[in-house]
Structures are given as C-alpha cells and as structure tokens.
Amino acid sequence: MSTGQSADGAAGKSAGSGAGNTHRAIEIRHLRAFLAVAEESSITRAAAGLRLTQPAVSRTLAALERHLGLRLVDRSTHHLALTPEGVAFRDRAAAAVAAFDAATDTEGLRRWPLRLGHAWSAFGRYTTPLLRGWQERYPRTPLELRRIDDRTAGLTRGEVDAALLRGPVDAPGLVTEVLYEEERVAAVAADGPLASRATLRLADLATGTVVLNTVSGTTTPELWPPSARPAATLTVANTDDWLTAIAAGRGTGVSAASTAGMHPHAGVAYRPLVDAPALPVLLARRDAPGHPALDDLAALAREIVARDAGE
C-alpha cells in the first residue's frame, strides 16, 4: 500500500500550499471511498467492497476531509454517521462520480443514451408519444426512461440527464420548465364506501387516514386548509407501497390524474378530486452543461403537449 500512502501524503502537502490548489488535489478515488463509507456506514465493509484494506480507506477518507477542510464522517460513535456537511457533500460526490464514469465509458461514447428520470408517472398520457417520437427523430440517441424513487428522480445525484417532475421543486442547481398541468385525483380502496362516489373533495378524505409518499410524492398535509387537515397520516417510501396501503384500506391518497393510467391497481379506485389545485408537470435539468440532446428533448415535449392542446 506504499503507493496509496505516497499519493495521499503528496496530496496533503499540496493542499497545504494554498486554498486555490485544494480541490485540484481531490481525485476520483477519494470520492469513491467516501461514497462507499456513506453507503455502508462502516469503513471495514466499505474497504471490502472496494477491495482495499481498512487503513487504506481510512487514509483516503482522512485525506479528502483534509483537502476540503471539513469533517464528513462522525467517528465518535460505535456506528459511523455522516456529519451535516457529509450529508450535503454526498449528492455532489455521487454526481461527480457518475459524470466521471459516463465520460470514460467508451461504449457509451459510441452510443450516448439520454437518461430521463421520473418518480412515478413519467410524462402521463404523453409518455408513449414522446418515446415513439424520439425514436423516429433521433434513432442514434437512445432515450432511456428510468423510474427513481426520489424527489428529483435521481437528477441531483447525477443518475439521469433530465427528469419529469410534478409539483414545485426547490432543489438547488436545477432549471425547470412547466410543460402542462394535471388535475388531481383521489385514490381510495376499490371496495370502500368512497369508491361509490363519482367525484370527491378534500374534506371527504380528511376524516380518515391519508397515505403520503414522503420520498417522491407531492402530497402533504398542507394541501388541506389549516382548519381541516387529515385526521391521521401514514407515510410510505414509494408508489408501490402507496398503492398497497390504499388497496388494503389503510387510508386514502391524492395524486396526479396520470397516476390512474400509469398505475392501475385492482384494489384501488381513482376519482376526480374537484377542489384540489392542479399539479404542474415539469421538465428539469441541471444548471450546467449536460447531454447535447437536452434541447431536442425539451422541444419535442413542448411540441407533443401543444399538438394535443390543438386537437
């Protein structure tokens, strides 16, 4: 491991020579080591996954913290935990590693796919026209639709090049464009009393438990007036668990109208929610240079929505 010790030691010396050179001393191996520790909450397990020794990972992590001038990992407890600075740095490190891997993927350079993330309902009723239209116009650039259970559908972590999102998004470093607005629907148990109603109102759901997807969903108790918030809430982590809980009669839910078409469920009935505000559907990208076909994607998405509005 003498090579790794020398590299870390040299990097540490250059970091001390001036703040302007600090970030140039950071290498991709520092970020990989940090991300492995963050994922495993253990230097030992991280080292095993990286096929390195525990001391080598410890030195690499310490060198990264020294370069940044920040403590990223709290080692004061029996189980490692990220510091607040470590939590904030994790997404940036993941995005940097993803960008590096994409840039050095020789196969991908020959056929560079455009990765489009979504959290649950993609482009709604426009999803198929988008995929077919893209294939016809840009056959050399595959459009990969990826469902990622995350508020930005993996965009802030660098897992996708663009994302279709719903509702307001306040993540820093993103540029968003509203493509259209969707009505909201109530999701209720198919064998429950509310399923017999043609339409529903927010007050109809507030008397019972409302199921909330707190990871990628857009519904919060603030959708209801302060004096008429739901009697109880049940939190889940993804759309599949949301549907399962509603079908089991554990509560009701609120979602965009496209969810009814994209996620039909034998145990769930969708009903128009007549007094809920419409939900904006956004196309989001990072505020930085990205895939060269991003502008083409935005133009095609706008064209499809405009064509539908004119019919």
Burial of 270 (0-12, 13-18, 19+ CB in 10 A): buried
Distance, in Å, from the CA atom of 231 to the CA atom of 246, rounded to the nearest integer, reads: 16
Q: Using CA atoms, how far apart are residues 251 and 188, in angstroms rounded to an integer? A: 7
Q: Is 156 helix (H, G, I), strand (E, B) or coil?
A: coil
CA 175 to the chain's CA centroid: 15
Reading the block at residue 140, the tokens are: 């050399």
- pLDDT, position 40: 87
Phi, psi of 296 (to 5 degrees): -65, -40
User: Quick one: pLDDT at residue 106?
Assistant: 58
Q: Which residues lie below 8 Å from residue 185, measured CB to CB, with a gap of 6+?
A: 254, 255, 256, 257, 259, 260, 270, 271, 272, 273
pLDDT in tens, 87-137: 999 988 988 888 888 777 655 545 689 999 999 899 999 999 999 999 999
Domain ranges of the chain: 2-103, 106-181+280-310, 184-277
In whole angstroms, give the CA distance from residue 250 to residue 213: 14
Rounded to the nearest integer, the mean pLDDT of the chain is 88
Question: What pLDDT does residue 188 have?
Answer: 98
The arithmetic mean of pLDDT across residues 219-248, rounded, is 96
pLDDT band at 2 (very low <50, low <70, confident <90, very high): very low
Q: Which CATH number fits domain 106-181+280-310: 1.10.1380.10, 3.40.190.10, 3.30.750.24, 3.40.50.280?
A: 3.40.190.10
The domain 184-277 is placed in CATH, from the list 2.60.40.1180, 3.40.190.10, 3.30.1330.20, 3.20.20.70, at 3.40.190.10
State the fold for domain 2-103.
Answer: Arc Repressor Mutant, subunit A (1.10.10)
* Confidence (pLDDT) at 18: 40
- The two most distant CA atoms of the chain are separated, in Å, by 73
What lies within 8 Å, CB to CB, of 56 at 6+ separation is: 1, 4, 47
What pLDDT score was predicted for residue 168?
A: 87
- CA angle at residue 218 from 209 to 87, to 5 degrees? 110
pTM to 2 decimal places: 0.65
Report the alpha-carbon distance of residue 53 to residue 47 in Å, rounded. 6
Query: Is the fold of 2-103 the same as that of 106-181+280-310?
Result: no
Identify the pLDDT of residue 219: 95
The tokens for 304 are: 């499809």
Task: Give tens-digit pLDDT for 246-257.
Answer: 999 999 999 999
Summarised one tens digit per residue, pLDDT across range 165-199 is: 999 888 889 999 999 999 999 999 999 999 999 99
Per-residue burial over 44-77, b if 16 or more Cβ lie within 10 Å, else e, is ebbbeebebeeebbbbbbbbbbbbbeeebbeeee
The pLDDT score that the predictor gives to residue 8 is 39
